């Protein structure tokens, strides 16, 4: 299922629109999971999040609006996310959004590669992976906050 049925529509949205839509989609899944969210305009994170027990954490959202497809081989399409600076790595978790298919993959920020680029195959955005990835990321957040 695509959020943008006409393929050319998603290609025409701006970078700002892409990011905003990714933040809204990540926020949607967090809210569906029972986590309150506020979209913020700050440095280092896009969402302030609060669990029902009151624990606060931050989420940086990275959005890709179309997959990258290697034409030289028969590999599955993948999404490339760029996490550039230490500031973007200061959030507790990251939400990686495949906007064209409405998929979100959550991960603990410490799981991100040092090279600044994370590549995920399209199958990682299957709807059945969204909440398990969120649960895994949240488990790490809770452990990290208890250790601090």
For the segment 51-62, what is each residue's pLDDT rounded down to a tens digit? 999 999 999 999
Task: Tell me how long the chain is.
Answer: 148
pLDDT, greater one: 140 or 10: 140
On whether residue 1 sits in a domain, the answer given is no
Q: How many domains does the chain have?
A: 1
On whether residue 76 sits in a domain, the answer given is yes
> Which domain range does residue 94 map to?
7-147
CA distance 147 to 90: 17
> What is the pTM for the complete model shown?
0.85
For the segment 24-45, what is each residue's pLDDT rounded down to a tens digit? 999 999 999 999 999 998 777 9
pLDDT of residue 14: 85
For the segment 109-136, what is each residue's pLDDT rounded down to a tens digit? 888 887 778 888 888 888 888 999 999 9
Domain at 74, CATH number: 3.40.1350.10
Q: Is the pLDDT of residue 2 over 80?
A: no
């Amino acid at each position: 299922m695509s959020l943008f049925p006409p393929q050319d529509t998603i290609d025409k949205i701006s970078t700002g629109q892409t990011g905003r839509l990714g933040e809204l989609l990540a926020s949607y899944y967090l809210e569906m999971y029972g986590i309150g969210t506020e979209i913020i305009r700050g440095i280092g994170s896009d969402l302030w999040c609060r669990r029902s027990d009151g624990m606060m954490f931050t989420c940086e959202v990275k959005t890709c609006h179309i997959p990258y497809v290697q034409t030289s081989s028969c590999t599955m399409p993948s999404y490339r996310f760029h996490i550039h600076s230490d500031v973007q790595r200061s959030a507790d978790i990251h939400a990686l959004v495949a906007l064209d298919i409405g998929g979100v993959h959550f991960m603990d920020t410490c799981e991100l590669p040092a090279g600044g680029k994370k590549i995920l195959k399209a199958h990682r955005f299957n709807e059945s992976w969204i909440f398990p990835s969120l649960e895994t990321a949240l488990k790490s957040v809770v452990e990290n906050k208890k250790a601090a």
